[in-house]
Amino acid sequence: MMMSLAWLLYIITTSAAADDQSSPPVLDTDGQPVMRGTDYHILPAAAAATDPAGGLTLASLPSPNRCPLYVAQEPPEAAPSEGLPVHFSPVTAGEDVVREARDVVATFSVATTCARSTSWRIGVEDGETGRRFVATEGLPSYFRINATATGGAYQIASCEGGPRCGAAGILMREGGRFLALDGPAFPFRFKRV
């Protein structure tokens, strides 16, 4: 009986480990796997002619408070800015390769005047559209990176918080371009810094 329980535990453990390796790695613009703790610029996958804006950065929503900061896209007038560097931490223990459809924590690799965490989390809902902004500060949320049909392009999504899954896209607010869930997906690519 004890031998069969040990065998069952072994099968479950090795199956889970094999499953973690079966998901393909997310690739950067050089075709290399995106790695834990390495800095990347998150850029629009579209050509500059179709999306003249730059990479992802931090910005404040129009409000009396400057903090928290939200994930935003550099405006076209700042292009060709690559934005701020971001690093990823796979949630799976011991995993150093960022894999498609696996939970990761995304964190900007910068200090801010808000003096708090720059890890991404699901923020407040937009009052007009109901889309959820991606903010920083507080406990980080889990995100997933999924390949699109266009080679080398990926979308960012989150299913954290229950059955409400949402793809990340750009939401225009008060002249800013903010990353928000629950709308059209925006294709990104990852360029190693």
139-187 tens-digit pLDDT: 999 999 999 988 889 999 998 766 778 999 999 998 899 999 999 999 9
Residue 143's DSSP bridge partners are 104
Which of 121, 183, 139, 152 lies closest to 44, judged by CA? 152
As a whole number, mean pLDDT of residues 52-76 equals 88
| Residue 99 vs residues 22, 67, 90, 125, 186: alpha-carbon distances, Å | 9, 31, 8, 28, 19
Flag whether pLDDT at 137 surpasses 90: no
CA–CA distance, 2 with 183 (Å, rounded to integer): 51
Give residue limits of the domains in the chain.
25-192
Contact call for residues 148 and 187 (beta carbons, < 8 A): yes
Q: Any idea which residue has 């992802």 for tokens?
A: 56
pTM for this entry: 0.85
Which of 119, 121, 123, 133 lies closest to 174, judged by CA? 133
Residue type present at position 24? P
Residue type present at position 141? S
Q: Output the CATH code of domain 25-192.
A: 2.80.10.50
Contact call for residues 55 and 42 (beta carbons, < 8 A): yes
Q: How confident is the model at residue 49 (pLDDT cuts 50, 70, 90)?
A: low
Q: How confident is the model at residue 52 (pLDDT cuts 50, 70, 90)?
A: confident
pLDDT at res. 147: 96
Residue type present at position 55? G
